[in-house]
Amino acid sequence: MTQWVYAFGEGKADGNAAMKDLLGGKGANLAEMSALGLPVPPGFTLTTDACNYFTSHDDTYPDGFRDDVAAALKAVEKNLGLNFGDPDNVLLVSVRSGSRASMPGMMDTVLNLGLNDDTVAGLASASGDERFAYDSYRRFIQMYGDVVLGVEHHNFEDILADAKDKLGVELDTELTAENWRDVIEDYMEMVEGELGRPFPQDPEEQLWGAIDAVFKSWMNRRARTYRKLHDIPEDWGTAVNVQAMVFGNMGDDCATGVAFTRDPASGENAYYGEYLINAQGEDVVAGIRTPQSLTIREREMGGSKLPSMEETMPDAFAELLAVRARLEKHYKDMQDMEFTVQQGRLWMLQTRTGKRTTKAAIKIAVDMVAEDLIDISEAIMRIDPGQLDQILHPTLDPAAERELLGKGLPASPGAASGRMVFNSDDAEEWTGRGEKVILVRIETSPEDIGGMHVAKGILTTRGGMTSHAAVVARGMGTPCVSGAGTLKVDYTDKTMTVMGEVLGEGDLITIDGTSGEVMKGAVATIQPDLSDDFDTLMGWVDDTRTIGVRANAETPTDAATAREFGAEGIGLCRTEHMFFDSERIIHVRQMIIADTPESRAKALDALLPYQRKDFTDLFEIMDGLPVTIRLLDPPLHEFLPSSESDMADVAKAAGVTVDVVKARAAQLHEFNPMLGHRGCRLGLTYPDIYEMQARAIFEATADAVKAGRTVMPEVMVPLVALEAEFTVLKNVIDRTAKQVEKEHDVTLDYSVGTMIELPRAALRAADIAKHAEFFSFGTNDLTQTALGLSRDDAGAFIQIYREQGVLEKDPFVSIDTEGVGELVRIAIERGRTSRPDIKLGICGEHGGDPASVKFFHDSGLDYVSCSPYRVPIARLAAAQAALA
């Protein structure tokens, strides 16, 4: 026979912590604590199965259900020596919902159930406090009237306000027992007027009303909408917990508090918590009274004058200390508990896994391994990879004052202060004079790269999480706030206006790319300090994971950072980033303006030594590790100047008129540059560009080999859609390699592969793999093309999509496993049919997203590549994927 009711309390329980599906999170943990022998007020849980029965049987209960509940209630009465509805010996209960997942929108809690005109008197005499009793009663009427009976909240508020008006008082605390009695009378009258029947005086009727209300609330509109948005199945149902009330506010031998078994900020293995004497749970949370420390240690560290619980209630504290030891040993994790002391006796009301900072999470995990509480795998699984970002970047000093100017999107984590500049040139100039700057733009473009490189932080008023500014900033590890729409930027005046206040060039601001906040002035920041615990953890991580982690990097700084953070090579070196350097851009532009192969050759010859030097530097830093170099990818118009003066410079250098430059720019204009003349299409139409790049790579390789370094360049052709695109360009690359081998008398160890970033390439992977030695999935472009969604333009509607539940996650942040993911799987499967040992990696933004890393691990890729600052995140995510 189905068991619908699970009792707990008195050192035993029908359920346990593993039964969350049936008893909900709260019910399961109450049962677990009871069974552990901890002092839990007795009660019982009505199962989620009962909820499902109720829902599917026109709001009725299974046979015998009411008898089971009555029996369970009897057991509670017997356990406590109290009786439900007995004025002389009154048992009050709380009724709480509790589903498998925490879920707003459902009925939450009714306290003090069982009070009526008779029992309230009993509570008054039992507590010796009449005011307490009537205050409790009116609270119950209000709560029950609102959530169970459906009387609108404002009806109660109005009565209370009138009463206070009449009495000439302002605070609820000023009302006496007598006053509350009057209010209760008015409440009762009003409820009867609203409902056409009196407020239920029968405790049993009250109980069933509350239980019905919880079960019904599972199907109300808000709950249904929430479930749809969060993919929670309807048939999970909710449980109902009925539990004897205990009171922390019956006098000075009463208290209530919360405690963490370890310090949730530092992770220190020490009790940490707060309590209040003669108070209810809400009072601690509400912050009306200043809570006191749990321990002497805490009190001393905090410099508080208020005595700790260790001092004021040594017996209850000792009991609590025993509970702590018991719970940690049992749950093997840091716990967050709620407790109440009623007339000297400790009652545990809740325990759950405690939230903690990343720093604390790491310390606790590492400590618990040392304490033999958990093993290394468990320690690894304990850390949320996404949270690691917190400790890898500078953060705002929590103690510092801050004056908020506005808020945008947390586009690239970390905090930074600096003087505002409004364009890239100014950023470089100000930095040149030793100033720290924040680059403020409406939006950024590749032309701004110079300024973005030197700026301490980047702020844009337009663009989303995957705008140019956001992507580039994350790649460089520079803090960035994007899309701060309430700030108005004027490039001409070089001002930023916030609610009427105008800030100008040179004014100090601070941005927090972790929260999206923009603040006035310089707010103090704290530099990241990676602990020994971090190193320990990452050591375990590397021993555990099976998928490699590389970094996307092109500058020596980024490459060095990447290696420090544990990158095992470069998975994406974007050669075009090297083109924007101020010394070089003029040659790049000359190359583009060139109208004969000869003049283009001249410009390319000028670029060759720069590009070779880039690779020489990279190869030195990445000695012994593979470096994947992507040949020129963006459309040429991205390199052309937009300002008249820059155009004049280019015209002069190229020996043509400004009109020629403008005409060339107009000619290169594209309607959809993302789908335009870029990637390998450039290589096929201007093979000399790719040839120059290949030469630079191979000459640098030859030099490095002669210098005794181990270099493994992987030359990567972007945006391939057709087998022939790849074969033609592979020929160009191989031919150049042969020439360099001959010129330098060395043997070059290199491979040639391609990006898989177009749906067609994924589908035709078998053809392409006949020639390509590796694939690197460009999941940014693959997402753009598979979904027909421009990363730069999606901001206009993607938020609405997420609000409507049409899209769960931003597909540019976490890979769309169903669509884009299927293309990845298809490409892997087909690629391997022609080349079983083909090397497979991914170098899109998704390489640093934990959920995506799991997908790539499961798909069997050899490595992921992400921005240097996300390398530790990817390593951890990879280890977790291996353990999952």
Binding residues for a copy of itself, rule: CB under 8 A, are: 670-677, 681, 684-685, 719, 721-722, 724-725, 728, 757-760, 763-764, 781, 784-790, 792-794, 796-797, 800-801, 804-807, 816, 818-820, 822-823
CB of 797 to a copy of itself, least distance (A): 5
CB of 669 to a copy of itself, least distance (A): 9
> How many C-beta atoms lie closer than 10 Å to residue 829's C-beta?
14
CB of 817 to a copy of itself, least distance (A): 11
Nearest to 451 by CA among 430, 471, 425: 425
The answer to whether 340 and 250 have CB atoms below 8 angstroms apart is: no
Nearer Cβ to a copy of itself (403/670): 670
The answer to whether 332 and 368 have CB atoms below 8 angstroms apart is: yes
CB of 784 to a copy of itself, least distance (A): 6
What is the distance between the alpha carbons of residues 720 and 761, in angstroms, rounded to a whole number? 6
Check if 744 is active-site: no
The answer to whether 492 and 363 have CB atoms below 8 angstroms apart is: no
Q: Please compute, for residue 85, the number of CA atoms within 13 A of its CA located in the half-sphere on the CB side.
A: 10
What is the distance between the alpha carbons of residues 403 and 875, in angstroms, rounded to a whole number? 37
Any alpha helices (H) in 358-488, and if so which ranges? 358-370, 376-382, 385-392, 424-432, 449-454, 468-476
Q: Is 774 left (phi over 0), alpha (psi -120 to 50) or beta?
A: beta
The answer to whether 84 and 114 have CB atoms below 8 angstroms apart is: yes
- Please count the helices (runs of H) and the strands (runs of E) in the chain: 35, 34
Identify the active-site residue in 393, 468, 587, 857.
Answer: 468
The answer to whether 551 and 475 have CB atoms below 8 angstroms apart is: no
Nearest to 871 by CA among 538, 536, 378, 473: 538
The contacts found for 227-231 with CB under 8 angstroms, 24 or more apart, are: 227/103, 228/805, 229/805, 230/101, 231/808
Q: Hey, what are 677's tokens?
A: 């003349």
What is the distance between the alpha carbons of residues 439 and 424, in angstroms, rounded to a whole number? 7
User: Could you tell me the CA-to-CA distances from 348 to 50, 327, 876, 881 in Å, in that order?
Assistant: 26, 11, 36, 36
What is the distance between the alpha carbons of residues 26 and 97, in angstroms, rounded to a whole number? 8
Q: Report CA Rg, the chain.
A: 34
User: Could you tell me the CA-to-CA distances from 44 to 4, 8, 72, 211, 337 in Å, in that order?
Assistant: 10, 6, 7, 12, 19
CB of 571 to a copy of itself, least distance (A): 21
Identify the active-site residue in 254, 843, 846, 857.
Answer: 843
Nearer Cβ to a copy of itself (387/727): 727
Partner residues linked to 25 by β-bridges: none
CB of 221 to a copy of itself, least distance (A): 16
The answer to whether 440 and 421 have CB atoms below 8 angstroms apart is: yes
* The one-letter amino acid at 375: D
The answer to whether 813 and 412 have CB atoms below 8 angstroms apart is: no
Listed in sequence order, the residues at least 6 apart from 797 whose beta carbon sits closer than 8 Å to its beta carbon are: none
CB of 453 to a copy of itself, least distance (A): 22
| Per-residue three-class SS string for 226-237 | HHHHCCCCHHHC
> How many C-beta atoms lie closer than 10 Å to residue 70's C-beta?
14
Nearest to 78 by CA among 65, 63, 89: 89
CB of 323 to a copy of itself, least distance (A): 47
Nearest to 877 by CA among 867, 862, 857: 857
CB of 103 to a copy of itself, least distance (A): 21
**Pairing outcome for strands 93-99 and 238-244:** antiparallel
Q: Give DSSP secondary structure letters for 210-252.
A: HHHHHHHHTTSHHHHHHHHHTT--GGG-EEEEEEE---S-SST
Nearer Cβ to a copy of itself (746/763): 763
Place of tokens 């026109």: 58
CB of 807 to a copy of itself, least distance (A): 7
Nearer Cβ to a copy of itself (610/801): 801
Check if 468 is active-site: yes
CB of 570 to a copy of itself, least distance (A): 24
The answer to whether 225 and 105 have CB atoms below 8 angstroms apart is: yes
The answer to whether 684 and 725 have CB atoms below 8 angstroms apart is: yes
CB of 467 to a copy of itself, least distance (A): 10
CB of 466 to a copy of itself, least distance (A): 12
Q: What angle do CA 441, 445, 448 make, to 5 degrees?
A: 70
For CA atoms 202, 207, 211, 213, the dihedral sign is positive
Which residues are tagged catalytic? Answer: 468, 843
